[in-house]
Chain A
Amino acid sequence: MNCQACVEFILRYLDGELPDDERAAFEVHLAKCPPCGRYLEQYRVTVTACKKAFVAPPEACDDVPEALIQAILASRRDV
């Protein structure tokens, strides 16, 4: 396996979707290719970054404005 194939396999590797033989070849390549190892780690951090980027701190979790709730409930009368 070369770097191009390795990088293409990352998503399926992380999702546990690679067949045994391809997963083994992927891991052999990673073991001997530090740049691909770094790429995989940075890919993982990127996915974590996505998830964390949108986690609002508790103080930012405002209630929905009462006016909006009332407008939503009023819209039911028009349905």
Chain B
Amino acid sequence: MASAPVPPPHDDDEQALLAGLRAGSDTAFETLVRTTSSRLLAVARRIVGSDEDARDVLQEAYASAFRSIGRFEGNAKLSTWLHRIVVNMALMRLRSRKRKPEESIEPLLPAFKDDGHMLQSAGHWEEGADVALERAEVRDYVRAQIDRLPETYRTVLMLRDIEEMSTNDVAALLDTTENAVKIRLHRARQALRALLNERFGTTAAGAAQGASR
């Protein structure tokens, strides 16, 4: 996750901050916003894609948090609680958009013969594909491929692999089962591998597999 320019409060500070929030202290609310908003804006931007929507999501999320701070029981860290609210608001924003009909992910998944062998076995990737990820241009490419995934799969990939939320938390947010989350995540990663194969595949088999998809 992107790092926040302002470090989050330590435990003792967090307890003091929470007490201030519960007491309705203006200073406490301002501290909360100033120490958490940078990281949370980045979270919203990653999920909804645009700066404008991300700013709206952030405002809505804090408004929601301000309304419900009295019900925050302190079982989780404030930052974790806020992260969840932002993710929830960002998902609601995604759902409210007019989306094009979702394409099937099947063409991006490996196909198998009757005997269980891959129809097109995995070819080679260029040396140092992982090192190439240090380049901004390659990271841009990867983000563009993630955006090509069908929305339900992209969402699970974002929440599990990028926001690093637990399977249980993602299942609760998406109102589904943990097993369904695992299946979607596995398919999303497989589909993304096929898309990255278009760039990193070097052998005839690898290139053909990518090009045909």
Contacts and interface: CB of A to CB of B under 8 A. Distances in A.
A46 B196 contact: yes
A62 B38 CA distance: 8
B66 A75 contact: yes
A35 B201 CA distance: 13
Interface string B188-202: 011011001100100
Interface string A30-50: 000001101101110111111
B186 interface: yes
**Size bracket of the A interface:** 35 or more
User: DSSP majority for the B interface?
Assistant: helix
Interface string A48-79: 11111111111001111000110111011011
Contact of A43 (B5, B59, B162, B190): B190
Interface residues of B, number: 55
User: DSSP majority for the A interface?
Assistant: helix
A75 B63 contact: yes
Given A42-B193, A50-B157, A79-B63, A36 B122 contact: yes
A45 B206 CA distance: 15
The winner among A12, A43, A64, A79 for most chain B CB atoms within 10 A is A64
B118 A48 contact: no
The winner among B3, B34, B46, B62 for most chain A CB atoms within 10 A is B62
Q: Which 10 A-B pairs have the closest CB atoms?
A: A2-B116, A35-B121, A53-B142, A39-B122, A11-B186, A4-B116, A4-B112, A50-B161, A38-B122, A46-B193
Interface of B: 1-5, 26, 29-30, 33-34, 37-38, 41-42, 46, 55, 58-59, 62-63, 66-67, 110, 112, 115-118, 121-125, 129-130, 133-134, 136, 139, 142-143, 146, 157, 161-162, 182, 185-186, 189-190, 192-193, 196-197, 200
